[in-house]
Amino acid sequence: MDSNKVKGVKMTQSNEKQQYLTIREAAEYCRVSDSWLRNQVYKGRVKFTRTNGGTGKLLFIKEWLDEILLQGVQNG
Residue-level pLDDT at 17: 62
The residues spanned by each domain of the chain are 2-75
The pLDDT value recorded for residue 53 is 84
Architecture of domain 2-75: Orthogonal Bundle (1.10)
Residue 72 banded pLDDT, cuts 50, 70, 90: confident
pLDDT digits (tens, 9 = 90+) for 23-63: 999 999 999 999 999 999 999 999 999 998 888 999 999 99
Closest CA to 63 of 7, 3, 28, 15: 15
Q: Give me the amino acid identity at 67.
A: E
Number of H helices, E strands in the chain: 4, 2
Of 3-7, 14-18, 32-36, 59-63, give the lowest mean pLDDT range. Answer: 3-7
